[in-house]
């Protein structure tokens, strides 16, 4: 690993660690930009990494799990397989997943998903997406938008498998 590679890895790890609320950090700081429970959550149309587009209009009246992730995030590497399993198990019941990669390199995000066999709908956070749906602080971030268009759940940081599975209760 080159020195530059180590520096990039260290800064990325620090970004992931920022998602873990430390005792000295006030809750309001650790939850920056996380939409509050009950707030209306507008979703943008999002170009998907493997082609096609997530259309916000087709998500009306549906439960949508919005999941911010990155290929370099170790906590995302723990949660994403469970997001994939949730989507596979619940999509027939109407669950929609919208992954949002914050990777700076689009090719890295696509390669990460391909290597791991993830196929839940996932886009890339572009300035247009960020304008309507700003990324909360830390990674990963999981937000559930209920059928009524309001935030039903919002979590920052790593979730346990049973926590991800429990998101099906919003269906």
Tens digits of residue pLDDT in 78-123: 999 999 999 999 999 999 999 999 999 999 999 999 999 999 999 9
Length of the chain as a residue count: 171
| pLDDT of res. 24 | 30
> Measured between alpha carbons, how far is 107 from 110 in angstroms, rounded to an integer?
5
Answer whether 0.95 is exceeded by the pTM: no
The 3-state DSSP class for residue 76 equals helix
- How many domains is the chain partitioned into structurally? 1
Range of the domain at 95: 3-170
CATH number, domain with residue 79: 3.40.30.10
| pLDDT of res. 31 | 59
Backbone angles phi and psi of 141, in degrees to 5: -130, 130
> Measured between alpha carbons, how far is 73 from 94 in angstroms, rounded to an integer?
28
Name residues of the chain where pLDDT drops below 70: 1-31
HEC per residue, 4-15: HHHHHHHHHHHH
């Amino acid at each position: 690993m080159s020195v530059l590679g180590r520096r990039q890895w260290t800064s990325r790890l620090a970004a992931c660690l920022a998602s873990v609320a430390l005792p000295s950090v006030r809750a309001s700081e650790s939850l920056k930009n996380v939409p509050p429970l009950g707030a209306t959550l507008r979703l943008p149309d999002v170009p998907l990494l493997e082609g096609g587009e997530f259309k916000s209009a087709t998500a009306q009246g549906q439960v949508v799990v919005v999941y911010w992730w990155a290929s370099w995030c170790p906590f995302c590497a723990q949660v994403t397989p469970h997001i994939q399993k949730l989507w596979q198990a619940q999509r027939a019941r109407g669950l929609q997943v919208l992954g949002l990669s914050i990777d700076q390199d689009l090719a890295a995000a696509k390669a990460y998903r391909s290597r791991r066999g993830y196929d839940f709908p996932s886009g890339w956070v572009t300035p247009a997406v960020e304008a309507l749906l700003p990324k909360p602080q830390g990674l990963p971030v999981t937000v559930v938008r209920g059928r009524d268009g309001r935030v039903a759940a919002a979590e920052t940081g790593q979730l346990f498998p049973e926590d991800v599975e429990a998101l099906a209760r919003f269906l």
